[in-house]
Amino acid sequence: MTDVNQEDVNHALEVLGLTLPVTPETLARTRRVLLYTWNPARYSNLTNNPKKYMQAYKKAEEMTKLIEAACTLLSAVLTTDEA
């Protein structure tokens, strides 16, 4: 993995709404809750307006990718710290 600086870790914590110290269990629980909240399929019955639906769907897709990236980064940092 490339070098991870403190700014990247802070941004990942901010995205997930966590503060240090972070345990693997807390990270997994937060990931599960946020992915449920931002699941793009949840927006299917939100509105009958296709334009608003697609905006919400794209925002949910972006958030899902951001959450996954933040969890991957923090998992790598946690694994490195524990080793």
pLDDT tens profile 37-79: 998 888 777 777 888 888 888 999 999 999 999 999 999 888 7
pTM of the prediction? 0.82
10 Å Cβ neighbour count for 11? 15
10 Å Cβ neighbour count for 77? 16
Domain range list for the chain: 6-82
Whether pLDDT at 29 is above 60: yes
Structure tokens at 36: 């449920």
